Amino acid sequence: MSETKKSESRQMTGAAMVVQALKDHGIQHIFGYPGGAVLPIYDEIFQQDAVQHILVRHEQGAGHAAEGYARSTGKPGVALVTSGPGATNMVTALTDALMDSIPLVCITGQVPTHLIGNDAFQECDTVGITRPCTKHNWLVRDVNDLAKILHEAFYVATTGRPGPVVVDIPKDVQFATGTYHPPRKNDVHVSYSPRVKGDAAQIRKAVALLASAKRPVIYSGGGVINSGLEATRLLRELVGSTNFPITSTLMGLGAYPASGKNWLGMLGMHGTYEANMAMHDCDVMLCVGARFDDRVTGRPDAFSPNSKKIHIDIDPSSINKNIRVDVPIIGDVANVLADLLEGLKAESKRPDLKPWWSQIATWRARNSLAFKKSDDVILPQYAIQRLFEATKNRDTYITTEVGQHQMWAAQFYGFEQPNRWMTSGGLGTMGYGFPSAIGVQVAHPKSLVIDIAGDASIQMMLQELSTAVQFDLPVKIFILNNQYMGMVRQWQQLLHGNRLSHSYSEALPDFVKLAEAYGGVGMQVIKPGDLDGAIEEMIKVRKPVIFDCRVAALENCFPMIPSGKAHNEMLLPAEANDETTAAAFAGGKALV
C-alpha cells in the first residue's frame, strides 16, 4: 500500500468514500445491482465517470463476473449489491472465490444501524452469513472507520493467498459525513502479515532433493497463476533448466504451455494417464502452489507412495492438510522459485533423466485421451479440438461451466499462457462460466471470449445474456449440448446402475430463438462437417452468440480414476468397455 500525504484527508459522505476508494485503488469497472440499501452509493456512481458500473441481472452474476475480471487481469474484482437478498445471492460467488483464491471485494448495503437486529425490510446478517465464505469481512458502524476498512479490504483480498472480502455498509453510514484518507500502511490489522519469502534452510533441503532426483515431477497449481507473471516465467525457466516433466491442476493450466515438450497434461480424476502415472511413480515431487485436492490425489493412502514431497504454498494451512509432505516451504511462489533456481545453479551434477523420460514415453503411448471420431455425430472432444484450432492463434480467453464439457475443455484446449482460463475448480459452480466470461470481456473488450458450456449449466445464469447485450460484450457461448447433465449421467451410469435419475432435460429451450429473444445471435450445428465453418462465423460476429453444438448424447469423459482408487488404477477410454467399467466400479455397484 502506498504512503500518501495526510493533507489529502477530507470530509465526504460514506457513499462518496466508497467511490473515492475505488478510484484510489485503480478500479475502473465494478459489477452490481442496485437496491434500497445501496442507493446513496449508486447516486455517487451516477455523478462520475472514472468507475464504470456493469449492471448484471442477478447478484451471483456480479460475483462471477468480478471473478472472471480478476482472474483474467490479476487485479481485484469488485461487486456492489444491496442488503438482504442482494447479499445472500452473492454467497455462491464468494464461496467460489474463496475456494479458488480469487481476489474479490464485495460491497454490500445494510439496513440503517439502528434497525440492525430488528428484522427490517431486506435485512440479513450479512457478516454472519458470509463469515465462513470470505477471507475476512467487516460491518462498518462508524463512517470514520470506512476509509480504513475499505483500504484494508483491498489489501487483504489481494495479498497473501488472495480471496474474497465483504464490506457491509449500513445506509445511515453511507449518508453520514466523515473523514476520508487515501490508502496508507497502517490501514491494515497488525496481526495480518502473510509470509512471502521461503525459509532458506527448507529451500536448501528442496534443492538437494531436486538435484538428486531420478524420477522427478513438477505438480503446479493455481498458486502459480495467482503469484503473477514472474512466477510463470520462473516456472518455465525451472522446467527448461532441469528438464523435469510437469503436470498441473485444473486451476494451473497455462502456467506451463500445453505445447511445451515437458508437458504431461492435466492430472487428477480426469487427467492424463502419463500425468497420473508420473505422480504415482516419481521419487521427488515438487508441488508448486497447489493443495493436494481430493480430485487430484485419488486415494490419499496410495498417493505417490514412494516419493519425497516438496510443497510450496503461501498458506500454511495447505501444508499437511491432505497429504503429509517432507519439505514444506511457506512463501510466495515467485519468491521461492527464484531462490530454488539460484540454489539449483550451484548443483551442476544431476542424475540422468533418460530412463524416466522413456518410461513416460511408454505411458504417453497409451494415448489416454483417444476417442472415436464420427462423420455422423459431433463428438464433444472433437468440438473442443476444432474450437481450439480455430482460436489458438487469436487473442482468446476461455471460461467454462461445470461438468463434462469443463473436463473436455481442460483436456483438449491447449493453454499457452496464464490468465486465459477461467473455470470453477474448488466449488464446481454450474453457472460460473457465462458471467465470468462477461467479466473477462469487460476487462478485454477487443479479445475473443468464449464460455464453453453445457446445456444444463448455461441455464443457471442465462439471464446475463441481457447484460452482455446491454454493454456490447460479444461473449460467445459454446454449448456442448448432449441434452443431459452429462457428468451426473456418467456417474449414474458408472456408479448407480444406469438409473438416470433426473439428469435428462425434457424441455430444453430453443437456444437459437432464445439468443434472438435477448438481442444476441443464435446458431445451431448438428453435423461434424458444418462445425469449422460455423465456428468461423461465430468468431466473426461482434455480438453475443449462443452456439448450440449438438453432440453425442451418451459420450463419457475418460480417462477416469474410479472411486476410491489410486493414480495407477485409471480407467482408459480404449479399455472402457462394459466389462472393464463394471469391474472398475464393482464395489460401488454392489453397495448401491
Partner 1 sequence: MAMDKQTNEQPASAYFMEERHDPNETHTLSVLVQNEPGVLARVIGLFSGRGYNIESLTVSETEQHKHMSRITIVTTGTPMVIQQIKHQLDRMIPVFRVVDMTLTGRSIERELAMVKVKGKGDARVEALRLADAFKARVIDATTESFVFEITGNSEKISQFVSLMAPLGLVEVARTGVAAIARGPDGM
Contact 153, 21 (CB under 8 A): no
- Which of 122, 470, 483, 524 is an active site residue? 122
The H or E element containing residue 287 is strand 284-288
Q: Least Å distance between CB 153 and partner 1?
A: 10
CA atoms within 13 A on the CB side of 105: 23
Closer by beta carbon to partner 1, 39 or else 116: 116
Spell out the long-range contacts of 414-418 with Cβ–Cβ below 8 A and sequence spacing 24 or more: 414/257, 414/258, 414/259, 414/388, 415/253, 415/254, 415/257, 415/258, 416/254, 416/257, 416/258, 416/259, 416/392, 417/254, 417/257, 418/224, 418/225, 418/229, 418/232, 418/254, 418/255
Q: Which amino acid is at 169?
A: I
In the block, residue with C-alpha cell 527448507: 202
Minimum gap (Å) between residue 257 Cβ and partner 1: 29
Of 52 and 186, the one with the shorter C-beta distance to partner 1 is 186
Of residues 487, 538, 560, 570, which has the active-site annotation? 487
Question: Which residue, 346 or 592, is less far from partner 1 as judged by CB?
Answer: 592
Binding site for partner 1 (CB under 8 A): 127-128, 131-132, 135-136, 139, 156, 161, 189-192, 269, 294-295, 298-302, 315-317, 319-321, 324, 491, 495-496, 563-566, 569, 585-592
Report, in Å, the least distance between residue 324 CB and partner 1.
7
For partner 1, the closer of residues 126 and 335 by Cβ is 126
Task: Report residue 222 CA to chain centroid gap.
Answer: 8
Q: How far is the CB of 270 from partner 1 (least distance, A)?
A: 11
Q: Looking at beta carbons only, is 98 or 390 nearer to partner 1?
A: 98
Compute the least distance from the CB of residue 534 to partner 1, in Å: 35
Q: With contact defined as beta carbons under 8 Å apart, do 11 and 32 qualify?
A: no
- Nine cell digits for residue 304: 505417490
Please state the closest distance from residue 496 (CB atom) to partner 1, in A. Answer: 6
Per the residue annotation, which of 135, 148, 171, 309 is the catalytic one? 171
Residue among 52, 121, 185, 237 flagged as catalytic? 121
Provide the residue count of the chain.
592
Q: Is residue 434 annotated as a catalytic residue, yes or no?
A: no
Which one of 17, 31, 59, 135 is the catalytic residue? 59
- For residues 109 and 35, the answer to whether their CB atoms sit within 8 Å is yes
The nearer residue to partner 1, 143 or 319, going by C-beta atoms, is 319
In the complex with partner 1, the residue whose CB is nearer, 294 or 510, is 294
Find the shortest distance in angstroms from Cβ 426 to partner 1.
14
Give the whole-angstrom CA distance, residue 297 versus residue 345: 31
Active-site annotation holds for 59: yes
Between the alpha carbon of residue 103 and those of residues 64, 66, 190, 217, the distances in Å are 12, 9, 20, 29
- Pairing between strand 136-139 and 29-32? unpaired
Q: Which amino acid, one-letter code, is at 44?
A: E
User: Buried b / exposed e across 101-113, counting CB within 10 Å, b at 16+?
Assistant: bbbbbbbbbbbbb
- Longest C-alpha distance within the chain, in Å? 77
18 by DSSP, 3-state: which? helix
Least separation in angstroms between CB 91 and partner 1 = 14
Q: Which is nearer to partner 1, 216 or 559 (CB)?
A: 559
Which of helix, strand or coil describes residue 52?
strand
446 assigned to active site: no
Whether the Cβ atoms of residue 79 and residue 63 lie closer than 8 Å to each other: yes
The sheet carrying 216-220 orders its strands as 263-266, 246-248, 216-220, 284-288, 308-313, 327-330
Owner of C-alpha cell 457428468 = 487
Positions annotated as catalytic residues are 59, 121-122, 171, 487
